[in-house]
Amino acid sequence: MPHAVSLLRAARLARSAKPFLARGGFKRERCAGCRLLPSHCMCAIRPSVATRAGVCLIMADIEPLKPTNTGWLVADVVADTFAFGWARTEVDPALLALLNDPQWQPYVVFPGQYAAPERVVQGVEQPAMHGDAAAKRPLFILFDATWAEARKMFRRSPYLDRLPVLSLRPEQITQYKLRNSGRDDHFCTSEVAAMCMNLAGEGAAGKTLEAYLPVFSHHYLRAKNQQPVDWAGAEHLRLREVVSSQDS
Ligand SMILES: [Zn+2]
């Protein structure tokens, strides 16, 4: 079954009057499972990890249509990924229902300096360690958007105001960068999701997301440059290593 981001993309495509052509994107046929050219399809290696934590992507209008959107990768790896389009004037009742579902403890993932101090938390409860089966599952709310859009979405979504704001600490960010030769201070959605998973004690999902993004980038760039996929390259080796270490 198509995942949440795939469904949102299909719905958004159906609503657009003219076919969306991403700048720098390719206009040829794409695989419905991974958005890549069939020659560069990576559906066969899509990893999936069982997690207790979930992800709720709130996506800027055009985001599901971008060929480089990485919320898609989060939905590939984390089965309990939900995705909603954002609009200033309305909110999807299904999103409100999700936020009110007692099995979840939602966290809005956003830099703490933009929120009232009493809302800010720097970690998530990990009741699994205490064997408390009745405890709530963490649900990470991520804005899948540009930074400017994300700030607007954070400010203008009153239904999120009652929720705690999870602010990633500099040392978590530094740790991530050390492992993944990070470039600058801007992280894409799948990188933020990886950090959240690590924080929630979901190391397998975190590592998988960390290894999956470079594989996607490789396939995407090779397709764009009309070069074949290097299935024995460092990106694929790393992902295979991570996936097989979870099997054993
Ligand atoms: Zn595919």
- Residues 165-204: tens digit of each pLDDT: 999 887 777 776 666 665 556 789 999 999 999 999 999 9
Please tell me the distance from the alpha carbon of residue 108 to that of residue 92, in angstroms, as a whole number: 17
Span 116-150, pLDDT tens digits: 999 999 889 776 555 566 689 999 999 999 989 99
Query: Judging by beta carbons within 10 Å of its beta carbon (0-12, 13-18, 19+), is residue 247 exposed, middle or buried?
Result: exposed
Q: What value does the mean pLDDT take over residues 214-236?
A: 96
Range of weakest confidence among 26-30, 59-63, 240-244 = 26-30
CA of 39 relative to ligand 1 center, distance in Å: 9
Work out whether the CA dihedral 41, 143, 210, 22 comes out positive or negative. positive
CA of 100 relative to ligand 1 center, distance in Å: 34
CA of 13 relative to ligand 1 center, distance in Å: 18
Range of weakest confidence among 26-40, 140-154, 155-169, 222-236 = 26-40
pTM, entire model: 0.90
CA of 219 relative to ligand 1 center, distance in Å: 10
* Mean pLDDT, all residues of the chain: 89
Per-chain residues with Cβ under 5 A from ion ligand 1: 31, 33-34, 41, 43
Assess contact for 28 and 37: CB atoms under 8 A. Answer: yes
